[in-house]
Structure 1
Amino acid sequence: MAESPSEPTRILIVDDDTSVRDVIAVLLGEEGYAVTAVSSAEAALDAARLSEFSLVISDVRMPGKDGFWLLDRIRELHPDTAVIMLTAFGDTEAAVECLRNGAADYLLKPPKVTDLIRAIERALGRRRLELARQRYRRSLENRVREKTAELSRTLGDLQATYSQTLWSLVAALDAREHETSDHSQRVVRYTLAVAKRLGLAEKELPDIGRGALLHDIGKIGVPDAILLKPAKLTPAEWAEMRKHPQIGFNILQSVEFLDVPAQIVLCHQERYDGGGYPRSLAGDAIPIGARIFAIADCFDAMTSDRPYRKGGTVDAARAEIARYSGTQFDPRCADAFLSMSPDELADLARTTQARPI
């Protein structure tokens, strides 16, 4: 921690030689430093617990715990404190070890006044620089955290806007076909419930839900005369109607975050046995989201009222799905769907506001 500009720099002197300790203390006091002097490594550590020192000047060779021990403790407990070691003449090996263990500098005993002052200024200068770096790093980390949080909030708002836009678009499509938006919400809920039963990863669910929601977006390109025709479609009209998965894919593929939903839209009319369209895919070649959706859509179609017929029972629809398991439907997806009880399906079918996905 940086000291206040109005306070003198605090230095701790550690030496069992009273004369050396006193001379250095007097000298540094005259230079304007606040000096504390102790005679052992243990006493130095006690002093460092009570006061914060910018610099410790310690002898290497002392009775009991030596300067190496003190250096290790200071670096561990007070990493912002600089340490200068005092070594005997010719003790080069000790000096090198001190530097290797984190000392800022070393001086031969008894130190020359000019050498001592220069060493102190260098050590304190490096300490100030390191503290400034730490402050800058903390400031930068705080700014990064703030910007990350801000970006997360922005992305969350954007995601909510995207989702609301998609729901509004699908509601408009449902209205065009004289459907209610309940149909779209139900198939999304059925699809996600099956996906969870299959144990798909949580991160996959939003894309699968969007694929189910947007499955019929390609019908934008189907003429009303065909889409809303109350009578049976001619072969030519069916050919036009069967283009809607490709049209939907073409609409969505340029939107990066809708890449996976676009694949589900393209494949939602495929059959597990390869008898579907537009590409006659079979088995696992069909995206899992499309395989799940096929069951959800079929179930909703069979149990919902239409202008020309009354919706069937849940039991009848479940029996139909079981009957076509392995041909129209992926058996694993069908089993997952059929593992839900009629009461669970009824709960999913109830009209509630679907969460944005």
Structure 2
Amino acid sequence: MNSNPARILVVDDDPDILETLRFFLEKEGHEVTAADSGPAALRALAQEPHDLLLTDLRMPGMSGAELIRLTLERDPQVVCVLITAHGTIDSAIHVMKEGAYDYVQKPLDLEALSLVVARGVERRRLLTENVAFRNAVLLHDLSLSVCASLDLSAVLEQVLDAVVRELRTVHAYLLLRSDDGSFTLRGARGAAGEAPIGTVIAPEACLAGQAFETGESILVRQSDPWPGPRSSALGEDRYLSSLVVPLRARDRRVGVLGIGMDGPGRSFTPADEKSLAILAAHAAVAIENARLHDDLRRRYFQVVVGFSRALESRDPYLRGHSERVALLAQFTARQMGLDERRCEVIYHGGLLHDLGKIGVSDHVLHKPASLTEEEFNEIRLHPAIGREILAPIPDLAPIAEIIYTYHEKYDGSGYPNRLRGEQIPLHSRIVAVADAYDAMTSGRPYQTRMSFDAARARLKEQAGRMFDPQVVDAFLSLPPSVFEQMAAASGEERPPPAHTSPDPRPPSG
């Protein structure tokens, strides 16, 4: 009994040789499929996978060389062996250079054939184990990268990086299913990357729609007809070979992962299909976890913003203050050339900068006169209180840092830790300027409302003392329309200040 049986496809246009090969290889313990031509062999390969192809070189119609080329295009893991006559040995050697593993000569020496087949079957086993090992390493590497982050955008980028690297392609895309049934492009490489992230793709307009609907992967080789619509937004109009795999998480489909190849010669294979399916399965779980985390973070953030607005409702002087600070800080960050992600963090930091005042008594917050030392110490606690409120969500740590440090002063005279200069996070230095400007131009129980020109002059005067000079310069260089917008927003009716004596506290909200 053969301890290493294989599924072998034998191809020869001579029925006697075909029958001899079938009988001998079955006696050796292998499972044998016989085909009398190249097209018949391709049909057999399409119906079920084979480990080894044993084909005559010279056959009418499709030659053995052409059959081997098409076979390896479909599945490079198939081990191909040529049967050749003495006069065609040079041709056999040429075909071996193109991918054939070995050859046997006619008239057939069955003992030599047995040795070649045994070596071929062993090579197939090693190739299969190599693919399995590669997939295990791939899964391990992807696990390390995507499990290290719960940020959805970061997870999507890591998945696409792994796909492009491991599947040796430059074209890849990741679509997530929206509630309305359409796809949204959430990440892309190569030709698919020419469409903006967020592009909406109709399922019926792309191959991905078919894969999602059926729940089955779709493999298109260069020799195959394209089985459905082509989406130019995904680069499908350029692909000669394509592979699309649905993303499943918790027994439901959440999107599609696709790759394409536009160069002649190589097609995606069943081995690639297995690798992409492994990537897709693991990626789908990571994506779903990140989406759930994003949803939790968004809900928590909404609750926190609700707290902040509830605080403003306690004090008519603060009405709209946080939103104006957030906008002014965001405009300033953009003026300084910060990327949009950092600008978003700064906006949210401005929106929640006074969050910790929830823990400060109304008596202290609304006191129209100078604070006692004890009362001022209570005020100084609000940055730490605000940071503590955001502590349950680690992803909000950059916002918590702003809340905790925006009362630090550039010259080191601020609180809670008397940081100075660039020891203070840039995000906090930006929010500090926006907060001071809005506080000065809005009025407080302890401070007369300044004109906008006077407030701008005060910022310039305090640059290098209370504020970062570069931030002040960027703030003061904002277009006039920004300040007009803020002036209109702060022009709502407010109770008059309780007194007009000089401000006993720093100009901050």
Please give the per-residue CA displacement for 1:50-87, whole angstroms capped at 9, x wherever unaligned: 8564564345799xxx9789756753465365412337
Flag the 1:275–1:50 CA change in 2: closer, same or farther, 3 A. same
Partner in structure 2 of residue 24 of structure 1: 17
Whether 1:12 aligns to 2:11 is: yes
Kindly provide the amino acid, as one letter, of the partner of residue 25 in structure 1. Answer: L
Q: Is the 8 A contact 1:218 1:249 kept in 2?
A: yes
Task: Tell me the secondary structure at the aligned position of residue 76 of structure 2.
Answer: coil
Partner in structure 2 of residue 297 of structure 1: 435
Q: Select which of 302, 323, 326 maps to 1:164.
A: 302
> Which deviates more, 199-208 or 330-339?
199-208
Q: Is the 8 A contact 2:410 2:467 kept in 1?
A: yes
Shift of 1:268: 1.3
How many residues get paired? 327
Please give the per-residue CA displacement for 1:214-266, whole angstroms capped at 9, x wherever unaligned: 32233233233222223322233223322322343444456422322232222
Please give the per-residue CA displacement for 1:80-138, whole angstroms capped at 9, x wherever unaligned: 6541233789xxxx999988975466545414299569949959x96999898666545
> Which deviates more, 102-111 or 215-224?
102-111
Partner in structure 2 of residue 112 of structure 1: 110
Question: Could you say which structure has the larger radius of gyration?
Answer: 1
Whether 1:329 aligns to 2:460 is: no
Kindly provide the amino acid, as one letter, of the partner of residue 353 in structure 2. Answer: H
> Which deviates more, 292-301 or 80-89?
80-89
Q: CA RMSD in A?
A: 4.6
Flag the 1:350–1:95 CA change in 2: closer, same or farther, 3 A. farther
Kindly provide the amino acid, as one letter, of the partner of residue 189 in structure 1. Answer: L
Question: Counterparts in 2 of 1:76-155, with a 5 A limit?
Answer: 76=73, 79=76, 81-86=78-83, 103=100, 106-107=103-104, 109=106, 110-112=108-110, 119=117, 122=121, 136-155=274-293
TM-score by length of 2: 0.52
Please give the per-residue CA displacement for 1:280-336, whole angstroms capped at 9, x wherever unaligned: 221111111111011100111122254677743333322222222222211110111
Percentage identity across aligned positions? 34
Partner in structure 2 of residue 35 of structure 1: 35
Please give the per-residue CA displacement for 1:150-173, whole angstroms capped at 9, x wherever unaligned: 334323322321221121011122
Which blocks of at least 5 consecutive residues in structure 2 are unaligned?
A: 1-7, 27-31, 132-268, 491-509
Flag the 1:324–1:154 CA change in 2: closer, same or farther, 3 A. same
Partner in structure 1 of residue 54 of structure 2: 57
The separation in 2 between residues aligned to 1:49 and 1:236, in whole angstroms, is 91
TM-score by length of 1: 0.71
Kindly provide the amino acid, as one letter, of the partner of residue 270 in structure 1. Answer: E
Q: Select which of 194, 218, 221 maps to 2:356.
A: 218
Whose strand fraction is larger, Structure 1's or Structure 2's? 2
Partner in structure 2 of residue 270 of structure 1: 408
Flag the 1:316–1:13 CA change in 2: closer, same or farther, 3 A. farther
Q: Is the 8 A contact 2:42 2:71 kept in 1?
A: no
Task: Tell me the secondary structure at the aligned position of residue 278 of structure 1.
Answer: coil
Partner in structure 2 of residue 241 of structure 1: 379
Partner in structure 1 of residue 366 of structure 2: 228
Task: Tell me the secondary structure at the aligned position of residue 83 of structure 1.
Answer: strand
> Which deviates more, 270-279 or 241-250?
241-250
Flag the 1:156–1:267 CA change in 2: closer, same or farther, 3 A. closer
The separation in 2 between residues aligned to 1:303 and 1:341, in whole angstroms, is 17
Shift of 1:184: 1.1
Q: Is the 8 A contact 1:211 1:265 kept in 2?
A: yes
Q: Select which of 405, 426, 450 maps to 1:288.
A: 426
Whose helix fraction is larger, Structure 1's or Structure 2's? 1
The separation in 2 between residues aligned to 1:27 and 1:149, in whole angstroms, is 55
> Which deviates more, 197-206 or 301-310?
301-310
The separation in 2 between residues aligned to 1:128 and 1:271, in whole angstroms, is 64
